[in-house]
Amino acid sequence: MAMMDLRVIEGGADRRPASQPALTRWLETQARVVELWIERLVGEGGDPRTIAVLQQHAAFLRETGEL
């Protein structure tokens, strides 16, 4: 497995702390994306274990966004 060159991230990253509203919006967006995948997998008869894990992940994202 190739090593990722982290110098780009370390050197060019914006080091300002994320604002809570921006973080909350990002978490909500991620939860919506996961939920869309869940809907698609359910509609296609996807693996129930994968769907269950994605449901847990979406719930985690939603709960974290509410903190």
Residue 2 pLDDT greater than 80, yes or no: no
**Could you report the per-residue pLDDT of 9-21, keeping only the tens digit for each?**
555 555 566 688 8
**Does some domain include residue 3?**
no
* 3-state SS class at 17: coil
Residues 6+ apart with CB under 8 A from 1: none
Q: Quick one: how far is CA 50 from the chain centroid?
A: 15
Task: Tell me, yes or no, whether 10 lies in a domain.
Answer: no
- 38 assigned to some structural domain: yes
Q: Is residue 56 part of a domain?
A: yes
Structural domains counted in the chain: 1
For residues 34 and 57, is the Cβ–Cβ distance under 8 A?
Answer: yes
User: Quick check: is 6 in a domain?
Assistant: no
Q: For position 1, what pLDDT does the model report? A: 44
Is 9 among the domain residues? no
- How far is the C-alpha of 9 from the C-alpha of 62, rounded, in Å? 27
- Using the predicted structure, report yes or no on whether residue 65 has a pLDDT greater than 50: yes
Residue 33 lies in a domain: yes
| DSSP states along 36-59 | HHHHHHHHTT--HHHHHHHHHHHH
* 26-43 tens-digit pLDDT: 999 999 999 999 999 999
Residue 30 lies in domain? 19-65
